[in-house]
Amino acid sequence: MEANEFFLTALSRSEGTLKRALDGLSPEDLRAQPAGTGSNPIGWLTMHLTRVQDGWLSRAQGMDSEWDDAGWGAKFGIQGEAPQWSPENVHTFDPKNAETLMAYWTAVKARTDRYAGSLKAADLDDELPVGRPGAPPMTIAQVLALILGDNVQHIGQIAYLRGLVKEQGWY
């Protein structure tokens, strides 16, 4: 089992948790902030984790993101560039509904499967062509670990929030 197979197996598992956690949530549930405007709601977290994955994949492949290609900003009511995510902007972000969030996730997941599924063992030690500005270069395997770490932490938060704002024992 190579690192990219691990990555895809773990990601599919995390997708299952995300689907169950969002299932049947209303737009109000998606925007609920149990600690006030400084805490992240389920809807914003879902958009954010998907967009982080989308961004890393597009940089790794030197191509446009799904967000830009398919105009997801406009679908979420964002005109032009997405804003810096200050507490105020997180509070006002409109996730629309669970279906829209899952549609964006599903599109990014399909891109992820294609890319990570095509990697060979030797590719995993290649350095990323475009890293974060000013950051030291990263290998593809490090990028996969980073995406997974970010993604699964946020999905765990979403699962916790569902129990907090909606019902306990839902899982």
Partner 1 sequence: MEGAALIAQGLDRIAGSLERSLTGVSVDELCRVPGEGTNSMAWLAWHLTRVQDDHLMNLAGRPLAWAEEGWHERFGMPAENDFGMGWPPEQVQAFTCESAEVLLAHHRAVLARSKAYLTTVTPGDLDRVLDEPQWDPRPTVGVRLVSVISDNTQHAGQIAYLRGLFGGYGWQRS
For partner 1, which is the closer residue by CB, 70 or 145? 145
For partner 1, which is the closer residue by CB, 77 or 87? 87
Distance CA 34, CA 36 (A): 6
For partner 1, which is the closer residue by CB, 21 or 66? 21
Cα-to-chain-centroid distance, residue 28: 20
What does the angle CA 145 – CA 123 – CA 68 come to, to the nearest 5 degrees?
65
Q: How far is the CB of 1 from partner 1 (least distance, A)?
A: 4
Question: Contact residues for partner 1 (CB under 8 A)?
Answer: 1-3, 5-7, 9-10, 13-14, 17, 34-35, 38-40, 87, 121, 124-125, 139, 141-142, 144-145, 148-149, 152-157, 159-161, 163-164, 168-169
Helix axis angle for 3-22 and 42-61, nearest 10°, is 150
Q: How far is the CB of 82 from partner 1 (least distance, A)?
A: 20
Q: How far is the CB of 22 from partner 1 (least distance, A)?
A: 15
Q: How far is the CB of 60 from partner 1 (least distance, A)?
A: 15
Q: Is 57 helix (H, G, I), strand (E, B) or coil?
A: helix
